[in-house]
Amino acid sequence: MHKIIPAGFLLLILTTAPTAWAHAFPDNSSPHVGATVSPSPKLVQVWFDGEIEPVFSTLIVKNAAGAQVSQGNGQVSPTDNTLLQTMLPATLPPGQYWVYWSVIARDGHHTAGRFPFTVQ
């Protein structure tokens, strides 16, 4: 009976152990969070600490009035599944802009956020 309890206890521990949740969070960006840049960037890029799903990931840039200035909803780089990027117009007027990102990690977990940058 003593052999059954340790094996059963081990099985209980293995089946109830918490699962590691692997969300994807921004690791770096260009422009950087809160940066003041001049001239205006042609591209916004956000690198994540894990691979993200291309179909479910978006990157949008809006001006201070809330109007979208980026072209489309962004895309995951075809050569780097941790990089989400979007194109901007040739020149943005001076002002504050907000980068909105929403991603699904390879394991299915969703994260989203936003950060500002300023064009001088």
Position 113 confidence tier, pLDDT thresholds 50, 70, 90: very high
Position 21 confidence tier, pLDDT thresholds 50, 70, 90: low
Position 11 confidence tier, pLDDT thresholds 50, 70, 90: very low
Q: Which two tokens stand for residue 82?
A: 């941790």
**Dihedral, 104, 40, 62, 99 alpha carbons, nearest 10:** 30
Say how far apart CA 26 and CA 47 lie, in whole Å.
6
Percent of the chain residues topping a pLDDT of 90: 79
Its CATH architecture, for the domain 22-119, is: Sandwich (2.60)
